[in-house]
Amino acid sequence: MATPLELSTRRSPDGTPVVAAVGEIDMSNADRFRDALGLAAPEGGPFVVDLTAVGYLDSAGINALFAHSSRIQLIASPLLAPVLTISGLSDITSVHEPPD
């Protein structure tokens, strides 16, 4: 059974695409996540990935993020901080906590 994952894309007030994920990202749905990231800014521009509502992120999800690491900004709760740090992703892209 696939792990529940909801994905949506919107524009921030400055026009930057924002991909928001809700649920868990693992090998059962990483292809959907990867596709959503690829469609967020197909022209190759920067975009934001909001992981605030993600409770679990495995290596398949991390791999999808690495593919866009030069042009993404991440918003993530402290829950994901260890996996973003251990993977090295936080060293090559900006990671912000959600605003209060």
Per-residue pLDDT reduced to its tens digit, 56-66? 999 999 999 99
Model's pTM, two decimal places?
0.94
- The yes-or-no verdict on residue 54 having pLDDT over 70 is yes
Q: Position 89: which residue type?
A: L
Provide the β-strand partners of residue 95: 74
* Residue 26, Ramachandran bin (φ over 0: left; ψ between -120 and 50: alpha; else beta): beta
* Residue 72, Ramachandran bin (φ over 0: left; ψ between -120 and 50: alpha; else beta): beta
- The yes-or-no verdict on residue 29 having pLDDT over 60 is yes
- The yes-or-no verdict on residue 3 having pLDDT over 90 is no
Count of residues for the chain? 100
**Which backbone phi and psi does 46 adopt, to 5 degrees?**
-70, 155
